[in-house]
Amino acid sequence: MEFNHKSVLLTETIDSLKIKPEGTYVDGTLGGGGHAYEVCKKLSATGSFIGIDQDEDAIEAAGERLKEFQDKVTIVRSNYCNMVSELKKLGITSVDGIVLDLGVSSYQLDNAERGFTYREDAPLDMRMDQRETKTAYDIVNTYSEKELYRIIRDYGEDKFAKNIAKHIVLAREEAPLETTGELIEVIKRAIPMKIRATGGHPAKKTFQAIRIELNHELDVLRDSLDGMIDILNDGGRISIITFHSLEDRIVKNIFRRNEDPCTCPKSFPVCICGNVSKGKVITRKPIIPSDEELEENKRSKSAKLRVFERTRA
């Protein structure tokens, strides 16, 4: 299956990076190489680009797509949380720009056997990195009712989380839940009929919750951002596209904290904590897709772009 993925907020993201032709740029979620291609087009012979992804299919597809820029491009198979150490291995200690597109790629959603989609019946997988051994099957069949309730409530933000967790545990007592189709049937039984008729696909939020839990998506984001901001050169920018309110909140709060890290009580006339600002938030409000983009690409609906610029004293 061909790796197709329509890059969301493409022009806005590339513009936000303010690319210097001779600069060094990193895409921590390379995917099919859509953002990467546009970055590489703007680089001169002395510019360089590093693409990171944990998905083997993405690495292959992006390698093909970026072939014409081969001298400038290095592709690494890893999770973006290892960005700083992976760059160090390449002898790179600072960069001019970083981009992260945190959505699941269209390829991953459309390729049924990866188990991300709730539109077809497939094994419960959902691994972003297929070298990992734990799958969605393990979460669905081994987590306690309390743990399932917690992740569906927190990561899926589903008001029927308690009932869905209860139904999953009851169903698996009969036999393990093996496929996405079996899980969808259980979820449907847990949601009132009239809600199912109007509220989008009933399994969407639970699938999202399981995927986030399995791939540690929020922890990875929370633990990586400060390190990425630290390796930006003066005037360098980090541009992040999120698709989930929890991800967006993490990015917004970490950007704000890096802009204003002072921990002194508001009543203090001067700062004595010694925490120094690392730069400024460029996007006071997130950039969202235009009406045209929403028309063309339904999956861009919840996308938000936030940008931070590093300033070094």
Its pTM stands at: 0.90
Nearest CA to 36 out of 105, 84, 139, 116 is that of 105
Q: Give domain status of residue 299, yes or no.
A: yes
94 lies in the same domain as 234 = yes
Report CA 29 to chain centroid distance, whole Å.
7
- How far apart CA 217 and CA 127 sit, in angstroms, is 11
Is 187 inside any structural domain? Answer: yes
Q: Tell me what percent of the chain is helix, strand and coil, each rounded to the nearest 5.
A: 45, 15, 40
Q: Are residues 202 and 78 in the same domain?
A: no
* Claim to verify: residue 248 and residue 302 sit in the same structural domain: yes
Contact 66, 51 (CB under 8 A): yes
Q: Domain range spanning residue 192? A: 131-214
> What is the rounded distance in angstroms from the CA atom of residue 53 to the CA atom of residue 67?
17
For residue 184, is it within any domain?
yes
The pLDDT score that the predictor gives to residue 268 is: 93
118 is a domain residue: no
Task: Judge if 81 and 225 occupy the same domain.
Answer: yes
Enumerate residue ranges in the chain where pLDDT < 50: 1-3
Which of 214, 229, 260 is the last residue before a domain boundary? Answer: 214
- DSSP 8-state secondary structure symbol assigned to residue 264: S
Domain for residue 39, yes or no?
yes
What are 221-237's pLDDT values in tens digits? 999 999 999 999 999 99
* 231 in the same domain as 200: no
Question: Is 112 a member of any domain?
Answer: no
| Residues 95, 15 within the same domain | yes
Specify if 27 maps to a domain. Answer: yes
Last residue of a domain, one of 214, 242, 263: 214
The whole-number pLDDT of residue 267 equals: 93
**Strand stretches in the chain, DSSP E:** 24-27, 48-53, 73-77, 95-101, 232-242, 279-281, 304-310
Structural domain count, the chain: 2
Instruction: Please tell me whether residues 200 and 226 are part of one structural domain.
Output: no
- Grouping H, G, I as helix, E, B as strand and the rest as coil, residue 236 is strand
Strand order in the sheet with 95-101: 73-77, 48-53, 24-27, 95-101, 232-242, 304-310, 279-281
pLDDT at 44: 97
- Mention every residue, 6+ apart, whose C-beta is less than 8 A from residue 189: 167
Tell me, yes or no, whether 232 and 195 share the same domain: no
CATH code of the domain in which 96 resides: 3.40.50.150
Is position 222 within any domain?
yes
Q: Tokens 């297929």 sit at which residue?
A: 130
Q: In terms of domains, do 96 and 221 share one?
A: yes
Kindly state whether residues 231 and 86 are assigned to the same domain: yes
- Residue 140 belongs to a domain with what CATH number? 1.10.150.170
Domain identity same for 15 and 164: no
User: CA 215, 217, 218 angle in degrees (round to 5)?
Assistant: 145
CA distance readout (Å), 209 to 46, 124, 244, 300: 43, 13, 11, 19
Which tens digits make up the pLDDT trace of 58-114?
899 899 999 999 899 999 999 999 999 999 999 999 999 999 999 776 566 667 677
Q: Identify the domain boundary among 188, 214, 240.
A: 214
Is residue 25 located within the same domain as residue 90?
yes
Beta pairing partners, 280? 309
